[in-house]
A = this chain, B = another copy of it.
Amino acid sequence: MTERRYDPTTGEWRTFATHRQGRTFLPATDDCPLCPTRPGGLQTEVPRAAYQIAVFDNRFPSLSAQPPEPTVAGTDLSPVEPARGATEVVLYSDRHDVTLADVGVDHIARLVDVWADRYAVLGARDEVAYVFIFENKGESVGVTLHHPHGQIYGYPDIPPRARQQLEAAQRHFDRNGTCVWCDVVGQERADGLRVVATNAHWLAFVPFAARFPYEVQLVALRHAPSLLDLSDPERHSLAELLHRVVRTYDALFGFSLPYVMSMHQAPTDDGPWLPVSHLHLELTPFHRTAERLKYLAGSELGAGAFINDTVPEQTAQALRLALERT
């Protein structure tokens, strides 16, 4: 069963994909389905003996170009639709044990090119309205495969949190005539207290009202709605800063820090969103200390109200000090 169902009590569409229960779960390194297919070895997802970066459709897709018909009939109150869209896997390297911190800036720059390419290709499809590039890294955020990889979802609508950001940016634009992200970048650069690192074209900072203790946002200095609007130097600059931030995380914690990376760009269907879409990445580790995690529980899940027990200015400073050691 794969389908999308509408929740009339929140206005959200939810995706159901039951074959995902059978997906591969933390296989041994020798059985990794994302490693290259080595001569005489396991037939993996990648039929080559080596690769730099590889992209393919998720074998356990929640959204796809030709989804099955829904299993239930919807009603006016709670409609149902086929789970149209795309779900891709992006392998960062053919080396099983590396992370973005290990692969180096030039390799991440190639990854940025791949992301831009997939944003263009998926965004051009009829069934895709929003391309969402993300990475779930580490067991504490629930990854089922250790091999370094990210994912891309092509949603058939603008998903709830992206819509929330776009609507907030639209309200800001209507009031001030400016992009809220441009204004935030300006304020953070001027203030400096929450800046983790910066370079020619990008700024990395702990958000003023961070949801997670070590949350870091990477925001383009210039108003660029998507990766496609970036020049080559701007793409390389993103790679350089992302590399520096993930290395900083590892230096601060003393181990390869798990995180969720979420990238937000302009919706890909025609719409009024270009003036208020500003390319940005959100890195959200769950760790609040080396031993303890921040859990999303009653206040966050039930009320949507985040409680943070750290001071963004202090976590930014801790990250800056760790950065000096990298």
Of A91-99, A111-119, A288-296, the one touching chain B: A288-296
**Contact (Cβ within 8 A) B151 A208:** no
**Contact (Cβ within 8 A) A18 B311:** yes
**Contact (Cβ within 8 A) B180 A15:** no
**Contact (Cβ within 8 A) A169 B304:** no
A17 is an interface residue with CB less than 8 A from chain B? yes
A6 to B298, CA, bound (A): 20
Nearest CB of chain B from residue A85's CB, rounded to whole Å: 10
Number of copies of this protein chain within its complex: 2
Nearest CB of chain B from residue A16's CB, rounded to whole Å: 5
**Contact (Cβ within 8 A) B208 A299:** no
Most interface-central of A5, A292, A309 (chain B CB within 10 A): A309
Q: Which one of B183, B208, B209, B284 contacts A301 once the chains associate, using CB atoms below 8 Å?
A: B284
A249 is an interface residue with CB less than 8 A from chain B? no
Q: Which one of B12, B184, B210 contacts A209 once the chains associate, using CB atoms below 8 Å?
A: B12
**Contact (Cβ within 8 A) B295 A141:** yes
Q: Which one of B187, B261, B294 contacts A78 once the chains associate, using CB atoms below 8 Å?
A: B187
A13 to B8, CA, bound (A): 25
**Contact (Cβ within 8 A) B307 A17:** yes
Given A78-B209, A262-B302, A302-B132, A11 contacting B171 (CB threshold 8 A): yes
**Contact (Cβ within 8 A) A164 B11:** yes
**Contact (Cβ within 8 A) A7 B207:** yes
**Contact (Cβ within 8 A) A299 B17:** no
Mask of A237-252 contacts with B, CB within 8 angstroms, 1/0: 0000000000000000
Mask of A293-326 contacts with B, CB within 8 angstroms, 1/0: 1111111011111111111010000000000000
**Contact (Cβ within 8 A) B14 A308:** yes
Taking Cβ atoms with an 8 Å cutoff, the residues of A that contact B are: 1, 5-21, 25, 62, 71-72, 75, 77-78, 130, 132, 134-136, 141-143, 151, 153, 155, 159-165, 167-169, 171-172, 180-181, 183-184, 187, 207-211, 260-264, 282, 284, 288-289, 292-299, 301-311, 313
17 A–B contacts from the bound complex (CB under 8 Å): A7-B208, A8-B183, A9-B181, A14-B209, A14-B211, A16-B308, A16-B309, A20-B307, A77-B183, A135-B298, A142-B295, A151-B298, A159-B305, A162-B304, A164-B304, A261-B302, A284-B302
